[in-house]
Amino acid sequence: MIELSQVSKKYGRRKALTDVTLTLPIGKVIGLIGENGSGKTTLLKLIAGLLTPNSGQATFNGQPISRRIAKDIAYMPDADLFYPYFTVRQLFDFYDSQFEDFDIVKAKEIAQYLNLSLDSKIKHLSKGNRGRVKIAATLGREAKVYLLDEPFSGLDPMVREDIAKGLIQFTDIERQMILMSTHEIKEMEPLLDEVVVLRGGQVIAHELVDDIRELHGIDTTTWMVSLFKGEK
């Protein structure tokens, strides 16, 4: 379980997060929703142990989150941070040398499922195929938590569909968690158990997707639009 209590983060004078309090359980697929600049990436980096809050506390299974958390949490950034001269196979070998929980056989299975050639150089791949590589490398780890920053950004619908199916096929949600920021809410709604909505660095809602449908009688996209209109 990930718990954040009154977590705030500033970059100089700019507040990225303000008094964020959340409880995120293992065994869920959770969508992190918000406008650009709402604090989604900062929140993911804090949970990944890449940033330290200015105030408040963030814990994983009761232990303070730090860079050591990388052994339990797999973080996939929005930006491509791979060595461009690597082939897909070399990238997997590199991950295998860096992470004890990396399963290179699983990563190759995911690559095959996503129609990736292991001998392709990353610098020659399209944006869609680089997105597939990031997913294969990230899900190749047997982490307790997967943090995905805009995994579908800029990808065409076919690629998004393949990646979405891969998220379900190659994770064990009974014992793992996926927390992903996304603007593709309508397409990803069938995957989601919960949604956390950020605005201006603050959590303005945290709801079960089933409750949104049953209590409000609308889909998550419509609910979010009405929520943002109500906040203005």
My answer on whether 76 and 65 are in the same domain is: no
My answer on whether 61 and 104 are in the same domain is: no
Which of 1, 19, 128, 18 has the alpha carbon at shortest distance from 59? Answer: 1
Q: 102 near 141, Cβ under 8 Å? A: yes
My answer on whether 189 and 76 are in the same domain is: yes
Helix axes 104-113, 88-98, angle to 10 degrees: 150
**What mean pLDDT do residues 129-158 have?**
88
Enclosing domain of residue 106:
72-194
Cα Rg, the chain, nearest whole Å: 18
My answer on whether 87 and 173 are in the same domain is: yes
For residue 70, is pLDDT > 60? Answer: yes
Residue 58 domain-assigned (yes or no): yes
My answer on whether 120 and 157 are in the same domain is: yes
My answer on whether 95 and 178 are in the same domain is: yes
Residue 33 domain-assigned (yes or no): no
What is the per-residue DSSP string for 8-64?
Answer: EEEETTEEEEEEEEEEE-SS-EEEEEE-TTSSHHHHHHHHTTSS--SEEEEEETTEE
My answer on whether 76 and 190 are in the same domain is: yes
Residue 222 domain-assigned (yes or no): no
Q: 126 near 92, Cβ under 8 Å? A: no
My answer on whether 79 and 105 are in the same domain is: yes
DSSP-H helix ranges across the chain: 40-47, 88-98, 104-113, 127-139, 157-169, 185-188, 209-211, 220-231
Q: 146 near 139, Cβ under 8 Å? A: yes
**What mean pLDDT do residues 60-78 have?**
86
My answer on whether 54 and 97 are in the same domain is: no
Rounded to an integer, what distance in angstroms lies between the CA atom of residue 100 and that of residue 125?
Answer: 27
| CATH code for the domain of 155 | 3.40.50.300
Rounded to an integer, what distance in angstroms lies between the CA atom of residue 32 and that of residue 150?
Answer: 9
User: What length is written for the chain?
Assistant: 232
Q: Which pLDDT value is given to residue 93?
A: 96
My answer on whether 80 and 99 are in the same domain is: yes
Q: Which pLDDT value is given to residue 81?
A: 67
For residue 123, what is the DSSP state? G
pLDDT tens for each residue of 21-48:
999 999 999 999 988 889 999 999 999 9
Q: Residue 201 burial by CB count (10 A; 0-12/13-18/19+): exposed, middle or buried?
A: buried
pLDDT tens for each residue of 76-122:
988 776 778 899 999 999 999 999 999 999 999 999 988 899 999 99
Residue 216 domain-assigned (yes or no): no
Residue 13 domain-assigned (yes or no): yes
Residue 201 domain-assigned (yes or no): no
My answer on whether 181 and 103 are in the same domain is: yes
Q: Residue 114 burial by CB count (10 A; 0-12/13-18/19+): exposed, middle or buried?
A: buried
Mean pLDDT estimate for the chain: 89
Q: How confident is the model at residue 3 (pLDDT cuts 50, 70, 90)?
A: very high
Strand partners, 194: 30, 208
pLDDT tens for each residue of 171-229:
888 889 999 998 777 778 888 999 999 999 999 999 999 998 888 888 888 888 888 77
Q: Which pLDDT value is given to residue 78?
A: 83
Q: Say which residues have a Cβ less than 8 Å from residue 91's Cβ, sequence separation at least 6.
A: 82, 83, 122, 133, 137
The total domain count for the chain is 2
Please report which helix (H) or strand (E) contains residue 73, including its range.
strand 73-76
Q: 195 near 205, Cβ under 8 Å? A: yes
Q: Which pLDDT value is given to residue 152?
A: 81
For residue 15, is pLDDT > 80? Answer: yes
Q: Which pLDDT value is given to residue 50?
A: 92
Residue 120 domain-assigned (yes or no): yes
Residue 199 domain-assigned (yes or no): no
Whole-number percent of the chain with pLDDT over 90: 57
My answer on whether 61 and 141 are in the same domain is: no
